[in-house]
Structures are given as structure tokens and as C-alpha cells.
Structure 1
Amino acid sequence: MKRRSFLRGAGVGAAAGIASPAIAQSQPTVTWRLASSYPKSLDTLYGSCTYLSEAVSAITDGKFKIQVFATGEIVPALQVADAVTNGTVEMGHSGSYFYIGKDTAFAFGTVIPWGPNSRQMQAWLFHAGGLELLNEFYAKFNIYNLPAGNTGAQMGGWFRKEIKSVADLQGLKMRIGGLGGNVLQKMGVVPQQLGAGDIYPALERGVLDAVEFVGPYDDEKLGFAKVAPYYYYPGFWDGCAELSFFINLEKWNSLPPTYQKVLKHCAMAAGHDMQAKYDALNPPALKRLIAGGAQLRPLPNDILRQSYKHTKDLYAEMSAANPAFKKIYDHLWAFQQDSTRYWQISDLSFDLMSATAIQQRWQDG
């Protein structure tokens, strides 16, 4: 990609507020490796990595290069954070909640059940102190984090059998990431955590009874509807899902300040691009899935009600056991409550009004 055409098309140079020729003349040549948890076929998730790489190279006239590697090319999907911590790679691209086994506070970098929506998450991260709190936590693992984009609200997943009540969840083996698995476990589910490339074979072989991943566009690519026809919504555990660009903290601190600024702004641009792509690509993908036989279903109310209670109980338990979890949770929950009160009279009321009007037009033909 040519530098000037990229900058014109993406507007990244203007966003960064940096004169590209000046960077090229005065800065060192730096080459980093970035390991993603996702395969190249998932062009929304993996695509944010290539967007970042191309933007950084374009703005710096090729002085700062980030080589992107898909899952498995350097490390397996769920070992990306370790690779960044120990310096195997300078950068990683992953979902922070994959690493709650290290510390439950890793969940906040992605999403928590019954947590904020994507715009609330962005507001908390960039303008309410959330990112500073997260990076204070990540520093214990030699990681500096830059948000890498959001999927928006996710679906509840694909099930081999119809789910009519909490009783149908008993013993059900489900691929699910983050604390959503802990909540569903309280309702009888046996949660499994697998990287994207391992999910379909496990579902096909019957090792899994259900799977949640992201939403229609990615789920269509991964072929889940071929094996599990019932498609449920909403994913109460994924009101949004923020991805992370993990950076080795020592490598981050060694970057020239100008390159740090370039990386921050390019990551932000990549993140905006990713959610915009999902918002554009998910609706037609859902239409195709339904036309192909997918059975769209809402999660039963008793599951939603019980999940909320179990979620709040879980947060109380984790806050009592982990001061880092409590510190971040208390901050996020206070922000979410205030934000949601406002959303009830702004975006939520508008969305309901608009959806009702559109639905009525459909009914009227």
C-alpha cells in the first residue's frame, strides 16, 4: 500500500496530528512482531492487526514496521499474553478475558457479564479513567495495553438442541470465553475455552454441545450453523467485547515518544474501523444464516433472570478474594450505572422508538 494513498483514504495522519516526513527524517528504524489470537480468515478481528501495521508503516514512511502473525504461527491462540510478557514478541492481539486464569481482573480488558455496551466501554476506557486503571493492573504482567476495537453486542451462541429453560443447561458443554463461563457454570453448564480454530472440530465431533463466538459475520465463516442450528440471543456475558493490543512494557517504554503517539492513534483508528465493519457486515450475514436454516431464538427469561443474580453474586465473591478485581469493578460499575441512567432517556429510547417504527412499516408491507 502506498503511504500517501493510505493516509488520504484512512485519515490516520490527520488523526495522529503528526507530520509523516518529519518522522521519517528524525526517527530510528524499528521492527516489531505482533502475534494474534485469531486466524487470517476472520478478517474483522485479524484485520485490525493489518490495519494497525499498515497505518503505522504509512505514517512513519516504513521506519516503524509491525509484522503480523496469525494464531499458531508463533504461539497458540491462548498463549499470546504470555508471549508478550516474556518478550517472545513485542506485541500481541487477543481478548484479555482469555487470561482470567492468571487473574480474574483480566476480564475487564474485554467485557464482563451484564457489563457496559460498546460505547459505554469506549467512554470508560478513554474518558473516565478505565484505561489508566487497566494499565496499572497490566504492568504487573509486563504488559501495556492499547484498546484494539470492539465487536459490539454479541450473540448468545449456537446450540445443538433447543433451550427452553435453565433445566436444559444442565451438563451442557459450551465453548465460552471470560467470566460468562463462570456464570453459566452456576446454572449447570460445563464451560470450555478454545481458540477460534479449534471450535468447529470440537462442535462437529460432539465434544461441545454449544458455542458462542462473536456474531453472524464471524460465526458464518466458522460454519457453526452446519452442526448446531439454534442461534440464541442476547449474549448477556458479551454486551460488548473489547480486543487488546498487548505490548511488552519494556519495549513500549523504549519507543520514542513520537512512535508511542503514532501507535496510540493508529490503534484507535483500527478500533473504530473494526466495529464499523461489524455493524455493516453482521445484518446481511444474519439474513443469510436464517435463509440457510438457522433457527433464531431469544434466551428464555428464566435464564436471563438467574444469570443476573449469579453474576452479581460472582462479582461479590471475586471482589472479596481479589483487591485488583474489586478496584476496577467498583470503578466500572459506578460509571455504568450513571451512564445507563442517561442512556435510558437518550439512545435506548431512540433505538426503541426507531425499531418499533421500522417493525411497524414491515408489518404494513
Structure 2
Amino acid sequence: MERRKFIKSAGIAGILASGTAPAIVNAQEQVRWRLTSSFPKALDTIHGAADVFAKLVSDATGGKFQVSVHAPGELVPAFGVVDAVQQGTVECGHTCGYYFFGKDETFAIDTAIPFGMNSRSLTAWFYDGNGLKLMREFFAGYNIVNFPMGNSGAQMGGWYRKEIKTPADLNGLKMRIGGFAGRVVSKLGGVPQNIPGGEIYQALERGTIDATEWVGPYDDLKLGFHKVAPFYYYPGWWEGGAQISLYVNDKAYNALSPEYKTIVQIAASHAHVNMQAMYDARNPTALKQLIAEGAKLQRFPREVMDAALKARNEVYKELNDTNANWRKVFADYERFMRDQYQWIPLADGSYDQYMAAQKL
């Protein structure tokens, strides 16, 4: 029987019962997901990646697959994303793994670790190395399927009320710093604070904290940190390329048709590239504006960087001795990173240094 005649005579009910037309059934499927974000709506770069993802999923399915995006507090708190996704309270979340290092330090590798890979190298490890495979194995223990969905690029070293001239200036410093990097700051004598993005300015203004890091010029300008802490340091050695991820509840993901799974993957990858494009395009202008408004741009002294690297190495040795998940994933991460830093400075680094010195 011709396919068209069969469909006409059997009807949808008959097709469903026969199991002969899964493509047609999938085409009719209506899916509604809720995505909870860890980032305030005011940040069109980092929060906006979830909107980019949701729009592409809808457009690719003719509106049949809808993802509603929710800011922190609408469904769950900013740092409640992993629990909500793991338990199936929501279908998916957009967040940074290192916020949840208290569950297992391996979460941090999904975002950024001190003196780790830059954004290009991290993306290469995830997409062409063993990164996605290893992290998927790890996240399976939390009922999560993870997808890279954004990267800020190398971040700035944050805002400080006072100058940082030596490692001693970090002693007793109360600093808002994202998740896992606080372990290293603690070894330097600092007092790390894990505060959601939407609450940082108030804490800095009231003196609850002495310093904060966030992302880079574009987002920092929006949040106005330079108004209450003028010293702006670089580089953010704890985030050479901070990846943001889409975490999907495994039951919700496995219930999707093969076509819809592919659309989720493609939409997340597009949002991943789009986020860094936004940061790279907007940071230069924002940095000029911050300086014009009084920000005092300074590079971390070499002595501070060396002390931080030494502390980082101590933390990683401790984790290799105590955390089997970390040891397994970090061993591969470190091997990949070692090769990357033989290559990238040779090609891109030397080219960038030459171009930066030219008056074009």
C-alpha cells in the first residue's frame, strides 16, 4: 500500500497502534521544559545564553518543543540548580559546575579550575578530547546529562578596595569568589565567600566583603562594581576560560525522540559559541568605559601569581590523594592542557603579541 493512502485510511490512531511511522509521531510531539538559571536576567550575556538556547529549540521544532527560562528564585535559588535537576523538579538548568564543588570537587572541572585551560583549549578537550565522555560519566551519578553552553573567555581578577602588591595583602581579605577557587584563596590567607551574582554589589557596598570577582568588563560594568571598589586586577588566574553548562535531567532527556535530542545538542552548541562571541565583542568597549569612570586597571604582581600557583598545586595534590573522581578526570585534563600550552602560545600567542604592538 502506498504510504499516503495508508496514512489516510488508517488515521493517526492506527499509525500509533501499528508502530510503522515513528517519524510522524515525533513530528507531532509536544514537549514543555523548565530551565532554571543561576544568573540574573540583567546579564544578557550569561543569562541570555539560556534564552538563545530556548529560542533555537522552539524555532527548530516549529514551536512544539518549548523551554521556559526562569531566573534565580523563580523556581529554585541560584545555587539550587543541581539538586532541582537531579531530583527532576525541573527538566534542566543553566549554571556553573564549580558552584557545587561542595558535593564533589570534580564539578569544578566542568567550569574552570585555577591555572587551568583557556576557553579554546577547554572546548577542544570537551568536543575532541575525552572531556565530554569523562564528565558525562561523572554526571551520570547525579542523574544529569551535561552540555557545554557558554564560555566567558579568560576572566578578570576582580575588584578590590585596596591595592594588592604582595601575597600578604590577601591575608584576611574577604572576597567573593566563585566556588572551588576559594580553596586556593584560603591557602593564601583569604576568606572566600560564595555569593550569587545578584547579591554581590550590596555585599561590596556594605563592606560585608572586601573584594569580588565576577566575569569581565561588560558584565562588571552592568553590575557597577567600580563604584565601590576601584582597583581592577587581571588576569583571573582561577578562570582562564570559564564554561557554563546546561544540565538536563536524564529521565527528561531520555524521554525525547532522537530528533529532539539532536536539537538540544545543536542549540546548546550554538549558545556556547554565541556567548563567547558576545563577550569578545563587548568587553573592549566596556573596559574603556570603566577606565573613563575611574576604574584603576592593574596587573597582578608576579609574586602574587607565583604564590597562587604554588597554593593551587598543593590543593590539587591533596585532591589527587583523596578524591578518586577528581583524580580520574584531572589526569586526562592535565595531559591535554600540557599539550595545549605547547601549541597555543606558539601560534596564537606570538601572533597576538605582534598585532597588539602595532599601531593599526
After TM superposition, the score normalised by the length of structure 2 is: 0.92
Match of 1:181 in 2: 182
- Aligned ranges for residues 98-177 of structure 1 at < 5 Å? 98-177=99-178
Instruction: Write the letter of the residue equivalent to 1:212.
Output: E
Q: How far, CA to CA, are the matches of 1:356 and 1:118 in structure 2?
A: 23
Residues 230-239 or 173-182, more deviating: 173-182
Q: How far, CA to CA, are the matches of 1:144 and 1:178 in structure 2?
A: 21
The answer to whether structure 1 residue 289 and structure 2 residue 290 are counterparts is yes
Match of 1:202 in 2: 203
Match of 1:319 in 2: 320
Contact 2:37 2:70 in 1 (8 A): yes
Contact 1:115 1:336 in 2 (8 A): yes
The answer to whether structure 1 residue 253 and structure 2 residue 254 are counterparts is yes
Q: How far, CA to CA, are the matches of 1:317 and 1:25 in structure 2?
A: 49
Report the secondary structure of 2:117's partner residue: coil
Report the secondary structure of 2:159's partner residue: strand
Q: How far, CA to CA, are the matches of 2:335 and 2:105 in structure 1?
A: 19
Q: How far, CA to CA, are the matches of 2:317 and 2:193 in structure 1?
A: 23
1:316 shift after superposition: 0.9
Q: Please provide the CA RMSD for this pair.
A: 1.2
1:352 shift after superposition: 1.3
**1:141-200 residue CA offsets vs partner (Å, 9 max, x unmatched):** 111101111000000000011111111111000000132211111111000001011111
Match of 1:233 in 2: 234
Change (3 A) 1:116 1:42: same
Q: How far, CA to CA, are the matches of 2:222 and 2:104 in structure 1?
A: 32
Instruction: Write the letter of the residue equivalent to 1:302.
Output: E
Residues 261-270 or 348-357, more deviating: 348-357
Q: Percent identity?
A: 49
- Aligned ranges for residues 255-274 of structure 1 at < 5 Å? 255-274=256-275
Q: How far, CA to CA, are the matches of 2:251 and 2:58 in structure 1?
A: 21
Report the secondary structure of 1:75's partner residue: coil
Contact 1:158 1:212 in 2 (8 A): yes
Change (3 A) 1:23 1:205: farther
Q: How far, CA to CA, are the matches of 2:170 and 2:323 in structure 1?
A: 29
- Aligned ranges for residues 324-335 of structure 1 at < 5 Å? 324-335=325-336
Query: Which stretches in structure 2 are left out of the alignment for 5+ residues?
Result: 1-22
**1:271-319 residue CA offsets vs partner (Å, 9 max, x unmatched):** 1110000000111000000000000011111110011111111111001
Contact 2:113 2:181 in 1 (8 A): yes
Match of 1:47 in 2: 48
Show structure 1 runs of 4+ deviating over 3 A.
22-25
Report the secondary structure of 2:308's partner residue: helix
Change (3 A) 1:306 1:25: closer
Larger Rg: 2
1:356 shift after superposition: 2.1
Q: How far, CA to CA, are the matches of 1:203 and 1:23 in structure 2?
A: 56
Instruction: Write the letter of the residue equivalent to 2:191.
Output: V
1:80 shift after superposition: 0.8
Instruction: Write the letter of the residue equivalent to 1:233.
Output: Y
Instruction: Write the letter of the residue equivalent to 1:85.
Output: Q
- Aligned ranges for residues 80-91 of structure 1 at < 5 Å? 80-91=81-92
1:24 shift after superposition: 9.1
1:345 shift after superposition: 1.6
Contact 1:176 1:213 in 2 (8 A): yes
Report the secondary structure of 2:349's partner residue: helix
The answer to whether structure 1 residue 339 and structure 2 residue 340 are counterparts is yes
Report the secondary structure of 1:72's partner residue: coil
Contact 1:24 1:60 in 2 (8 A): no
Contact 1:173 1:210 in 2 (8 A): yes
Report the secondary structure of 2:137's partner residue: helix
Report the secondary structure of 1:357's partner residue: coil
Q: How far, CA to CA, are the matches of 1:23 and 1:88 in structure 2?
A: 30
Q: How far, CA to CA, are the matches of 2:336 and 2:267 in structure 1?
A: 27
Instruction: Write the letter of the residue equivalent to 1:266.
Output: A
Instruction: Give the number of equivalent residue pairs.
Output: 338
1:71 shift after superposition: 1.1
Q: How far, CA to CA, are the matches of 2:256 and 2:147 in structure 1?
A: 15
Report the secondary structure of 1:66's partner residue: strand
Contact 2:99 2:180 in 1 (8 A): no
Change (3 A) 1:179 1:25: closer
Contact 1:174 1:210 in 2 (8 A): yes
